[in-house]
Amino acid sequence: MTTAKAKPRTADSSSREALERIADLATTDYPLLIRRRLRRIAFQATAVVFALIAVFSACAAGGIVIAERYGAVTALLIIAGAALLVCLAILLALSVVDRSARQREALLMQNRRMAVVGALSLLAAQRPRRSMALLAVLGAILAVHKLLRRRD
């Protein structure tokens, strides 16, 4: 039984991948992505409204039960303390999510920089006239991508 060895990555394959990434950026359907994002935000906002209604109703019911047993002031203090603990837990979770998002964005930016470097190194291997044309196309693609990202 023979085992196939993986091909080592060469400069040509890295440059090809870089150009494919640039082509992906240029061919992305941004209006479709924006519509999807807006639709997702609308559904999430609706879900949050109904979740808040449920939480407030549960707090009111719990407050009534606690007030019957311990009194109104103690019930309000218990509910306020529980809400504060929930708030702190949410802030901690958001902090962890934000840190991982920043790390992902840094890795993505590093990959994008490498893609641009790969594309530019490919241009150096081409003939001078052809490399200038490719460089112009690459610059236009990057400029359009930056403009569209700024609008988001």
User: Is residue 49 within 8 Å of residue 57, measured between CB atoms?
Assistant: no
Check residue 8 and give its pLDDT. Answer: 54
Name which residue leads in pLDDT, 152 or 20. 20
For 9-18, write each residue's pLDDT tens digit: 555 566 667 7
The whole model's pTM is what? 0.45
Q: At 57, is the pLDDT very low, low, confident or very high (cuts 50, 70, 90)?
A: very high
Query: Exposed e or buried b for every residue in 90-99, given b needs 16+ CB within 10 A?
Result: eeeeeeeeee
pLDDT band of residue 139 (cuts 50, 70, 90) is confident
Residue of higher predicted confidence among 65 and 27: 65
Q: Are 145 and 26 in contact (CB under 8 A)?
A: yes
**Per-residue pLDDT tens for 73-130?**
998 898 889 889 988 998 999 889 889 888 888 887 777 777 766 666 666 666 566 6
Model pLDDT, residue 48: 92
Q: With beta carbons less than 8 A apart as the criterion, state whether 11 and 121 touch.
A: yes
Q: Output the pLDDT for position 51.
A: 92
What is the distance between the alpha carbons of residues 78 and 82, in angstroms, rounded to a whole number? 6
What's CA 19's distance to the chain center, in Å?
A: 23
First-to-last CA distance in the chain? 53
Give the domain ranges of the chain.
30-151
| Of 26, 6, 13, 28, residue with least CA distance to 121 | 13
Neighbours of 103 (CB within 10 A): 10
pLDDT at 109: 78
Give 24 or 70, the one with higher predicted confidence. 70
Angle made by CA atoms 34, 38, 41, in degrees to the nearest 5: 140
d(Cα 19, Cα 24) in Å, to the nearest integer?
Answer: 9
pLDDT at res. 108: 79
